[in-house]
Amino acid sequence: MNWENNVRRVEPYVAGEQPRKQNVIKLNTNECPYPPAPGVETVLHGFDYDILRKYPDPDVSLLVNALAKRHGLSDRQVFVGVGSDDVLAMAFMTFFNSKKPILFPDITYSFYDVWAELHRIPYECQPLDEYFRIRKEDYFKENGGIVIANPNAPTGVLAEVSMLEEIIKANPDSVVIIDEAYVDFGGESCVPLIDKYENLLVTQTFSKSRSMAGMRIGYAMGSEKLIGYLNNVKFSFNSYTMNAAAIAAGTASVEDEEYFQDTVAKVVATRERTKNELSRLGFVFPDSKTNFIFAAHKTVPAQEIFDALRAEEIYVRHWNKPRISNYMRISIGTDEEMEKVICFLEKYLAAV
């Protein structure tokens, strides 16, 4: 009965709910409300099932090459995985092997502490300031690595690339990971810094701005050395993380830059309109450069609004955690969905 002493015990990450019901307004996991690029549909329709007999390309060359071209990098500077969660988990395992704690903000993507616990990496959270901004000085101390989401989740706050560069420059003995899951919605990317700093790894994902959360594609960009180490770990773990359909569909998405830009622009326009409406209804929020808004109401507690929305089959995200328990994270849906949400909130807030 002692086998349980030898179990790797972890407290798993809790993802936003995926309701089974149709016709709900789902604004709780930052998915894109628009379909993937038309080329993705073409590829999947014409997909040659016979190739499923064979293992997929372990180097994922087609997709790696498309991404390298798009970002102006060499193929050896790009690493692809099953969502950026897979890429980040592998990066934690690969680069965070010091006895010193890794650093990340106290309010950020709640998978970071889960991966740290999973891989037995010591960590120390650095408090954001009262406006949910990073204080760069917090990252000038000894550490075993740094991970920063930019723009940050769930706050939506964007940090300046110049400040992040100071952090990267001050830490030549650590790998600094910048998680750019939301950068396409108006942030400036750290990718141009890659050729300057060998210790910088930037991750991005197809789940938000490319409308492909269900396909599971994420990637990392960095120096050839960093990417080489990531590949060594991947090939020691599972050579075939990317399936043949994901490789083909992902490549089609990257090849349609125009559709991508149009989709992102639509989401941004809806976000800006939603900001105005939420302000009008008495919500306050840090300015968002993402596809969600992290909002608190001036008088009504977040938990009450969350419950009221939930009763209307409107799903948003709320965390009972220190500093943020009065905030809700509302993903940006279509204009029609956001109108329904605003309309309901207007009536609800007038009645409480």
Ligand X SMILES: *Cc1c(COP(=O)(O)O)cnc(C)c1O
Work out how close the CB of 20 gets to ligand X at its nearest, in angstroms, rounded to a whole number: 20
- Residue 107 or residue 121: which is nearer to ligand X going by CB? 107
End-to-end CA gap in the chain? 55
Contacting range for ligand X; rule: CB under 6 A; set: 81-89, 123-131, 300-308, 312-320: 81-89
Write the single-letter amino acid at 171: N
Q: Are 190 and 222 in contact (CB under 8 A)?
A: no
The pair of three-digit structure tokens given for residue 224, joined into one six-digit string:
């050839």
Task: Rule CB under 6 A: choose which of 33, 83, 101, 222 binds ligand X.
Answer: 83
- Site size with ligand X, rule: CB under 6 A: 12
Judged by CB, which is closer to ligand X: 116, or 345?
116
Would you call 282 helix, strand, or coil by DSSP?
coil
Options 36-44, 82-90, 220-228, 328-336: segment touching ligand X (CB under 6 A)? 82-90
What is the closest distance, in whole angstroms, from the C-beta atom of residue 1 to ligand X in the complex? Answer: 37
Q: Quick one: 61 exposed, middle or buried, by C-beta within 10 A (0-12, 13-18, 19+)?
A: middle
Compute the distance between CA of residue 107 and CA of residue 322 in angstroms, rounded to an integer.
9
> Closer CB to ligand X, residue 285 or residue 345?
285
For residues 85 and 165, which CB has a smaller minimum distance to ligand X in the complex? 85
Q: Is 179 in the site for ligand X (CB under 6 A)?
A: yes
| 161 binding ligand X? (CB under 6 A) | no
Told to check if 218 binds ligand X by CB under 6 A, we report: yes
What is the footprint of ligand X within residues 188-217 (CB under 6 A)? 205, 207, 213
- How buried is 243 (Cβ within 10 angstroms: 0-12 exposed, 13-18 middle, 19+ buried)? middle
By CB under 6 A, residue 156 contacts ligand X = no
- Which residue number is nearest to ligand X in terms of Cβ? 83
Question: Which residues are bridge partners to 339 per DSSP?
Answer: none
109 binds ligand X (CB under 6 A): yes
* R_g over Cα of the chain: 21
Residue 155 binds ligand X, judged by CB under 6 A: no
The reply on whether position 149 binds ligand X by CB under 6 A is yes
Shorter beta-carbon distance to ligand X: residue 213 or 349:
213
- List beta partners, residue 26: 315
Among 31, 85, 165, 337, binds ligand X (CB under 6 A): 85
Q: Nearer to ligand X by C-beta: 315 or 345?
A: 315
Please report how close the Cβ of residue 352 comes to ligand X at its closest, in angstroms.
31
Please identify, among the stretches 13-21, 38-46, 83-91, 136-144, the one whose residues bind ligand X according to the rule CB under 6 A: 83-91
Structure tokens at 66: 């498309």
CB atoms within 10 A of CB 48: 8
222 contacts ligand X (rule: CB under 6 A) = no
Q: What's the rounded Cα separation, in Å, for the pair 302 and 327? A: 6
- Binding ligand X (rule: CB under 6 A), the pick from 56, 60, 73, 84 is 84
Is residue 78 involved in binding ligand X (CB under 6 A)? no
Q: In the chain, count H helices and then E strands.
A: 10, 13
77 forms part of the interface with ligand X (CB under 6 A): no
What CA–CA distance (Å, rounded) separates 256 from 64?
15
Q: Between residues 153 and 345, which has the closer beta carbon with respect to ligand X?
A: 153
Rounded to 10 degrees, the C-alpha dihedral 128/130/135/141 comes to: -60
Q: Are 251 and 313 in contact (CB under 8 A)?
A: no
Tell the residue number behind the tokens 């798009």, with chain if given.
Answer: 70
Q: Distance between CA 190 and CA 250 in Å, rounded? A: 22
Q: What residues line the site for ligand X (CB under 6 A)?
A: 83-85, 109, 149, 153, 179, 181, 205, 207, 213, 218
